[in-house]
Structure 1
Amino acid sequence: MKLQENAKKLKQEIGTLFYSYRDVRTPLFAKVLSVIMVGYALSPIDFIPDFIPIIGYLDDIILLPIGI
């Protein structure tokens, strides 16, 4: 299932946001947004649970890239 694979890859790349948060050159707004996105990506609570086929991964595929 390609959608599921893309969602997993996106969650793996969330580490980039963590490193951008720790960089002193990052503006405050970007730091706050990166904390929110990392929290959402690592949180076991989703807007739409992942066990629902296809739709469960759409929130990860749509919301995380927008935040990033």
Structure 2
Amino acid sequence: MGPSLAHRLRIETHAVWLAVRDPRTPWPARALGMIVAAYALSPIDLIPDVIPVLGLLDDALLIPAGVWLMTRLIPAALMAEFRATAEQAAERPVSRTGVVLVVATWIAVLVALWWLLRGRWD
């Protein structure tokens, strides 16, 4: 039996993280990869997993879509190298940038909601 879907996604996400850090990766892929890797490796989700369906839907759609697009932007031989390195890695990296991006997004949403609703309560 082959590797699980979760294992493959973990390897692909790690490969994207490696691609972002490698100067041989084309700049459009690096820019997209920074967003994908930061979100995927962040310990905080954009939509918390405790929210039924939506909490898991963001991970199930956003991360695979970003990884798929990244594999289209990076030359196949280079992506194969990143995958091999990711497969050999023992631990999953954590993105502090991803944490900051997700927290900033939540703060922006809360501030926007507060700003929209404050006039209705006055």
TM-score calculated relative to the size of structure 2: 0.43
Residue 27 of structure 1: aligned partner: 26
**Mapped pair 1:66 → 2:60:** no
What amino acid is the match of 1:53?
Answer: P
* Structure 2, unpaired ranges of 5+: 68-122
What amino acid is the match of 1:43?
Answer: S
Distance 1:46 1:61 in 2: 12
Residue 16 of structure 1: aligned partner: 15
* Structure 1, unpaired ranges of 5+: none
What amino acid is the match of 2:14?
Answer: G
| Structure having the larger proportion of residues in helix | 2
**Mapped pair 1:37 → 2:36:** yes
TM-score calculated relative to the size of structure 1: 0.69
Residue 45 of structure 2: aligned partner: 46
Cα displacement (A) at 1:37: 0.7
Question: Could you list the runs of 4 or more consecutive aligned residues of structure 1 that deviate by over 4 angstroms after TM superposition?
Answer: none
Distance 1:44 1:21 in 2: 19
